[in-house]
Amino acid sequence: RVREYWLVAYSLIYLISGSGGTLLSAFLTPYQPEVGASGSLFGIIGSHIARDFVEIDDWTRTIGAWRKDHSLSKMFGWLLICVFLLIPGLLPWIDNWGHLGGLLYGFLGSIVILDHRVKKADSWWDWFIRMTTRVTVMCVLGLMTLLFVYLFYCKQDLEIHVGFMNCIPFTADFCLDSCMELRPRIST
């Protein structure tokens, strides 16, 4: 029964983070085609970061002795892996915005879906805080999704220069579009 719960929970996180990565990428780089499940995989990494983040009890004590606290060192390990995985995204045709969107949605979705701190003797106050956090994060996820969809469809003239996150032009034609004919989403 526990195995079925984790399968469903991680499947939901996988789908949520893939959708979130695609939304962020479509908003920030609308004329760049994208394929693959890397945003979803970054979402799974985001769920592990969220788990380690939630397991840290006392931040002031932890920062002083971060090597002894396994949760903090694991969290920094996951963040270091993310940095190394984002470096190839500086080449053309690899979508770092999809990766970062998947990481963000996976982190937030994990807080909503997974119950990281299950204790048998939780007080009603701990339960209230946990539920309030979940509802707040669900609202943030919903608002972010609505904002990205709104900006994608309604604010096409909004110029955001974020190209260097997806490709660094080492030469004059390094980041060109390979003769692809990319058209606007809605014809005027």
Residue type, 176: L
The SS3 call for residue 83 is helix
Among the listed residues 71, 49, 48, the one whose alpha carbon sits nearest the alpha carbon of residue 58:
71
Query: How far apart, in whole angstroms, are the C-alpha atoms of residue 14 and residue 184?
Result: 29
CA distances from 157 to 144, 149, 152, 153, 181 (A): 20, 14, 10, 10, 19
Alpha helices in 122-187 (DSSP H): 124-154
Q: Give the length of the chain.
A: 188
Task: Catalytic residue, from 19, 25, 47, 99: name it.
Answer: 99
Task: Catalytic residue, from 38, 40, 47, 110: name it.
Answer: 38
Has 38 been annotated as catalytic?
yes
Catalytic residues: 38, 99
